[in-house]
Structure 1
Amino acid sequence: MRSEHLKGLIAAPFTPMHKDSSLNTSLIPQYYEMLKANGVTGAFICGSTGEGVAMTMAEKKAVAKAWADATKADDDFKVMLFLGGTSIADCKELALHAKQSGLYAISFTAPFYFKPANAAMLAAACAEVAGAVPGMPFYYYHIPVLTGVNIAMYDLLEEIDGKIPNFAGIKYTHEDFMDFLSCMRFQNGKYDMLWGRDENMLSALVLGTKGAVGSTFNYAAPLYYNLIDAFNNNDLEKARTLQQQSIDMIRLLGKYGGIATGKAYMKLINMDCGEFRLPVKNMTTAEFELFKKDVAAIGFDRFASVGTAAHKA
């Protein structure tokens, strides 16, 4: 099986929550329409941005079903479900649900409590999960900053090649450009390598990436498509300027507490996804007012995603 190599921006959606932190799946159809209106080509659901590790099995199934229902008439919009990684049995159950719901692909990361000792053991875990849904594209999610498993992905590809027929590729959320390029060129580009660091997209474009998965694509997709166009037109100075705008935007994530700041950005495009669950820190009302001033200072309105009326910070 040689799966499709995905192109364009694939958003990592936030999971919409009510004020009491329960799921708000009713927002997902509108969410999909907003992403589609901004040229986003797919969704990587229940990942880090989507708080998958903070959700129950039943909740992840409900989110997967809501995205499947919202996108069922759109074969061009690819939805892949992040399964998790700690419990292999749970991952297999969720993979079967994803296939039955009609999602495009699944993704799995390294077990991060009992960690695999080497690439061979990680490959064995991948094979176990991928084998539950033969014929369905399976992506490994490489994010060592969160899993603590920093095995070279080139070594993983060597271990799995020819052994996992539905292994489609890797969502690569790391800064090892040497390893990333080697994976892109492995077996003449056999595997789909999706870039996962929005603040380093320009460097990945230089290496030849065609598809990327990112959280900031939810609320700033035009910025990245302009960056891609500038790179393709060999206007590198413009591309560097746009990448710096991305960096300035992402720096505010750190300033205001981390990943939950992304949901604050979503409020500025009138897509209120609620707050993050514990133990992630959310902004206070006072912090949000200061955040809006910082957002205005970087010119967010000039490159924010559209589809809902942008808030004028």
Structure 2
Amino acid sequence: MGSQDLKDFKITGVVAAPFTPFDSDGELALEKIDPYIEHLLANGVKNVYICGTTGEGPSLTIDERKKVAEKWVKAADGRFKAIIVQVGSGNLKEVEELARHSEAIGADAISTIPTIFFKPANPKVIAEFLQKVSNAAPTIPLYYYHNPNMTGVNFSLESILNLCTNIKTLRGSKFTSENLYDLSRCILLSSDKYNLLYAVDEQILPSLTLGVKGGVGSTYNYLGKVVNRLLKAFDDGNIELARKEQNFMNEVIAVLKKYGGNVAVNKTIANITGLDLGPPRHPLVEPSDEDKEKIKKELEAIDYFNKI
């Protein structure tokens, strides 16, 4: 990818953050990715963000993460607009290794969290880190994964991006924060340079009013049609319909949060919906059979299976 292509690279619309399929023993079940891809495409999902939080990237070995990325790229066979690989890890060397691997296998973009045990002391350190990741994979677009609640790295994205103007491959950020002020500042100051993907599913509609053009979501694995309807309604100026779709999404998310709101519960809802993704990997623990039945009944009560 040339420098001009990097400059023009932009992701819009729905980006699902897929779960990583496991078998009953917690081992990778890569064969489940083929029908998973068909499901996402059939539900209007045109982009995926793999090995992130929803994909349990931190619970995978480096070798497993490479195998998952290779499988998605090969099985998708160019049918997604973008496959983004989350390459963040606990140390820079592994991040660089995974970045180089993603570039080599033909992924469309990479994304990384900062290191989260030895945390960066200030935004300048994050900018230096991102430059090193960019140097490791200089021909592939890079997105900073801004997720302060999970990482504990609480600097504003605005303060980070202001120090990244010389990183040629940095194309934007996956913004996983409820801080819409910070988001609005980033859009105001740098929307001409950076592609900001909003990643709080329950607030996708408010983010659109600020100028966001695409979003990454874990619930988009099973609410792909719903969020596509929301985006279209907003683009058409039908705010009432967009609000109706957001409210339905939030009813589903309320059920998710009631039973823990974590990846394990989210994966359970995906499986209840009809996907075959297996359990999460320890230390995440899937709900009991009793709670699974309760979740299903609560989804039925909001007419979930008809509305999706």
TM class by smaller structure: over 0.9
The aligned counterpart of 2:70 is 65
Matches within 5 A, 1:29-108: 29-74=34-79, 76-108=80-112
Contact 2:58-2:89 at 8 Å conserved across structures? no
Q: Secondary structure at the match of 2:102?
A: helix
Counterpart in the other structure of 1:253: 256
Q: Secondary structure at the match of 2:136?
A: coil
- Partners of 2:105 and 2:301 in 1: CA distance: 43
Deviation, structure 1 residue 232: 2.0
Provide closer, same or farther for how the CA distance between residues 268 and 239 of structure 1 changes in structure 2, counting only shifts above 3 A. Answer: same
Corresponding residue number in structure 2 for 1:301: 305
1:303 deviation in Å?
Answer: 2.8
Q: Over aligned residues, Cα RMSD in angstroms?
A: 1.3
Q: Identity of counterpart residues, as a percentage? A: 35
Query: Within 2, Cα distance between the matches of 1:82 and 1:196?
Result: 14
CA shift at 1:90, angstroms?
0.3
Q: What aligned pairs does 1:68-217 form with structure 2 within 5 A after superposition?
A: 68-74=73-79, 76-161=80-165, 163-187=166-190, 189-217=192-220
Query: Over residues 20-73 of structure 1, what are the superposed CA-to-partner deviations in whole Å (9 max), with x where a residue is unaligned?
Result: 000000111211121111111111000000000001001001100100101233
**1:227 maps to which residue?**
230
**Are 1:275 and 2:275 matched, yes or no?**
no
* CA–CA distance in structure 2, aligned partners of residues 171 and 291 of structure 1: 29
Tell me the distance in 1 between the aligned counterparts of 2:22 and 2:201: 24
Per-residue deviation at 1:251? 1.4
8 Å contact from structure 1 (residues 3, 137) kept in 2: no
Distance in 2 of aligned mates of 1:43 and 1:229: 19
CA distance in 2, matches of 1:303, 1:77: 26
Distance 2:48 2:230 in 1: 20
Are residues 1:244 and 2:254 paired? no
| Mapped pair 1:289 → 2:301 | no
Q: Answer whether contact 1:253 1:259 (CA < 8 A) is retained.
A: no
TM superposition shift of 1:188: 5.2
- For residue 138 of structure 1, report the CA deviation from its aligned partner: 0.4
Unpaired runs of at least 5, structure 2 = none
Structure 1: how far apart are the matches of 2:146 and 2:191?
Answer: 21
Q: TM-score, normalization: structure 1?
A: 0.93
Given the superposition, is the C-alpha separation of residues 58 and 156 from structure 1 closer, same or farther in structure 2, using an over 3 Å criterion?
same
Offset at residue 113 of structure 1 (A):
0.9
* TM-score of the superposed pair, with normalisation by structure 2: 0.95
- How far the C-alpha of 1:189 sits from its partner, in A, is 1.8
How far off is 1:256 after superposition? 1.7
2:143–2:170 contact (8 Å) kept in structure 1: yes
Hey, what's the Cα distance between the residues in 2 that align with 1:71 and 1:272? 18
Q: CA deviation at 1:302?
A: 2.4
